[in-house]
Structure 1
Amino acid sequence: MKIASFDIDAQKGFTPLCPDELPVPEGHLIAGALNHLASFAELRLGSKDAHSPQAAWVVQTQAEMLQPLELANADLTWVSHCVPGTPGFELLDTLPAPLAYDYFVWKGVEPDLHPYGACYHDLADTRSTGVIEYLRQQQVDTVLVGGLALDYCVKTTALQLRRAGFRVGVYLPACRAIADHTAAQACEQMRSEGVELYDSAAQLAAAVPQKEA
């Protein structure tokens, strides 16, 4: 069994460190759990949002967020976040630099794109980012996932990987969610599609053999 870990959008813009962006509660606390997750893997993948401040889905206040849009590849409004060159774009401290990962994806670079999953650039899952092809070429069969936020980008990436035929496990201590009710819905959907959820380090260790030092 060849294992990869995948750090999804573990950026400061999704944490209380950047309160004017999309501060997921306790999002700044997951770096240690992501590093622990990587200790089970032979390959480590990562992703970042990389958005234009003039993106088509940007609104000025958080009260205006989550309104539907009639765009092919941006379905909801969001405040500006994770703009290259700003603190919110940066990965959490103690994580590797992007080029230190074995494979890295920058998401939503075009102003009319706001994908959630890291495997496709579009919402219809037709324009690959190369992640699935890379994992297959590397003969990976299990992908361990963590990151931000559980109820959006982590969930979508995990489901994309599962639908592509991989065994997928989400390590919940390495995730945080925007809201409890959407986190519960995300977990229910992931379980229903065969994604494994690990509530603790002990559950992770019981389910996945740790790589040899």
Structure 2
Amino acid sequence: MKIASFDVDAQKGFTPICPEELPVPGGAEIVPALNEMAEFADLRIGSKDAHPRNAVWVVEKPEEMLAPLDYPEADLTWVRHCVPGTDGFEQLDGLPEPNQYDYFVWKGMEPDLHPYGACYHDISEQLSTGVIEFLHAEKVAFILVGGLAFDFCVKTTILQLARNGFKVVVYLPAVRALTKDGETETLNQLEKTENVSIAHNYQELATFCRK
């Protein structure tokens, strides 16, 4: 049984390194845990948001975020984040460069597309990023997931992988949520989701990988 690890959107734009973007509390602290996941994996997968400056969902102030939008593939407003060429776009220090991963996804590049999960370029999940097909072709059955933010892009990626038949383990030391309420709601949802398990610490992660 092949194991893959998946670093979802582990970018500086989702950490206090870039406070004007989406500074997930503790977001910069997940690198050691992501690297721990990779130690158990045969393949390492990664993803990044790569958003244009002129995206239809951009608002200037944090208090204007999370307002509904009337676009089929961009559902909520967000402050500008993870624009290519900026610090926020960059991987967290201590992670591989994108070309050192076995497969890497850039998502959200169109101004009117704002996907959350890394498996599809669109919210309606009609346009694959190719990662599901890659994992099936490599005969991966088991995927370890971490990244940012837990209550949005990480959660959606996990659900997409689980719906496509993969066994998924969420490594909690390798995730951080945008809000405490979001963390609680996401954990409650994932604990009830078929094909998804939670590893609370390194020992539990090792146990799952040795089954």
TM-score between both structures, scaled by the size of structure 2: 0.98
Compare 186-195 and 164-173 and name the one that shifted more.
186-195
Deviation at 1:179, TM superposition (A): 0.8
Q: Which residue of 2 aligns with 1:201?
A: 202
Secondary structure at the aligned position of 2:44 is classed as: strand
Q: Which residue of 1 aligns with 2:17?
A: 17
CA contact (8 A) 1:49 1:108 kept: yes
Compare 188-197 and 150-159 and name the one that shifted more.
188-197
Deviation at 1:26, TM superposition (A): 0.6
In the TM superposition, what whole-angstrom CA distance separates every residue of 1:53-110 from its partner, at most 9, and x where no partner exists?
1100000000100000010111000000000000000000010000100000001000
Aligned mates of 2:206, 2:143 — CA distance in 1: 14
- Runs of 4+ displaced beyond 6 Å: none
In the TM superposition, what whole-angstrom CA distance separates every residue of 1:31-57 from its partner, at most 9, and x where no partner exists?
111001100100000000000011000
Which residues of 2 match residues 120-199 of structure 1 at below 5 A?
120-194=120-194, 195-199=196-200
Q: What letter corresponds to residue 164 of structure 2 in structure 1?
A: A
Q: Given the alignment of the two structures, is residue 119 of structure 1 paired with residue 133 of structure 2, yes or no?
A: no
Aligned mates of 2:24, 2:164 — CA distance in 1: 28
Q: Which residue of 1 aligns with 2:56?
A: 56
Q: What letter corresponds to residue 64 of structure 2 in structure 1?
A: E
Q: What letter corresponds to residue 57 of structure 2 in structure 1?
A: W
Aligned mates of 1:18, 1:181 — CA distance in 2: 22
Deviation at 1:209, TM superposition (A): 2.2
Deviation at 1:124, TM superposition (A): 1.0
In the TM superposition, what whole-angstrom CA distance separates every residue of 1:102-160 from its partner, at most 9, and x where no partner exists?
00000100000110000001111111000100000000000110000000010000000
Q: Which residue of 1 aligns with 2:6?
A: 6
Q: Give structure 2 stretches of 5+ with no counterpart.
A: none
Q: What letter corresponds to residue 121 of structure 1 in structure 2?
A: H
Compare 189-198 and 91-100 and name the one that shifted more.
189-198
CA contact (8 A) 1:158 1:168 kept: yes
Q: What letter corresponds to residue 202 of structure 1 in structure 2?
A: Q
Secondary structure at the aligned position of 1:143 is classed as: strand
Q: Give structure 1 stretches of 5+ with no counterpart.
A: none
Aligned mates of 2:32, 2:60 — CA distance in 1: 33
RMSD: 0.9
In the TM superposition, what whole-angstrom CA distance separates every residue of 1:10-37 from its partner, at most 9, and x where no partner exists?
0000000000000000100101110011
Q: Which residue of 2 aligns with 1:45?
A: 45
Aligned mates of 1:32, 1:207 — CA distance in 2: 19
Deviation at 1:174, TM superposition (A): 0.3
Which residues of 2 match residues 60-79 of structure 1 at below 5 A?
60-79=60-79
Compare 188-197 and 17-26 and name the one that shifted more.
188-197
Aligned mates of 2:184, 2:103 — CA distance in 1: 30
Secondary structure at the aligned position of 1:158 is classed as: helix
